[in-house]
Structure 1
Amino acid sequence: MRTWERVGYTVEEVEFDHDLHEFNVVQSGEIIATITPADLDNMDAIIESLDAGDDVNGWEDGNGNLVCLNV
């Protein structure tokens, strides 16, 4: 599993459902959001965006909520 460092928070890839992984957004040692992709294609797109350095602030978490960071 991978971890992406951003200013003020990290995104941690965690096991979820077999090959499908979730992404915990951790700020100040606390999980403030979990991004759950709908399928493997969506998961790959999330990883690609994170690898490109994208910020997750404003992303949908997969449950209709927006990730809101205080950075």
Structure 2
Amino acid sequence: MRKWIREGYEVVETAFDHDLHQFEVVQNGKTLFTITPPDLESQTQVVADLDAGEDVNGWEDGNGNTIYVEKK
């Protein structure tokens, strides 16, 4: 599993359902949001966006919530 470090938080890839993974948005050791892609294609896009350095603010978590992480 991988981890992406951003200003004030990190995104940690975790096992979910066989090949499908979740991505936890963690700040100061606390999980604020969990991004749950609906399928492998969406998961691949999440990884590509994170690899490209994108910030998760404004993303949907897969449950209809918009992610906003205050940078501390």
Q: TM-score, normalised by structure 2?
A: 0.97
Q: How far 1:28 moved relative to its partner?
A: 1.1
Instruction: Identify unmatched segments of 5+ residues in structure 2.
Output: none
Q: Identity, % of aligned pairs?
A: 56
Instruction: Identify unmatched segments of 5+ residues in structure 1.
Output: none
- Runs ≥4 in structure 1, deviation > 6 angstroms? none
State the aligned residue count: 71
CA RMSD of aligned residues (A): 0.4
Task: Give, in whole Å, the separation in 2 of the partners of 1:27 and 1:57.
Answer: 13
Q: TM-score, normalised by structure 1?
A: 0.98
Task: Give, in whole Å, the separation in 2 of the partners of 1:68 and 1:29.
Answer: 17
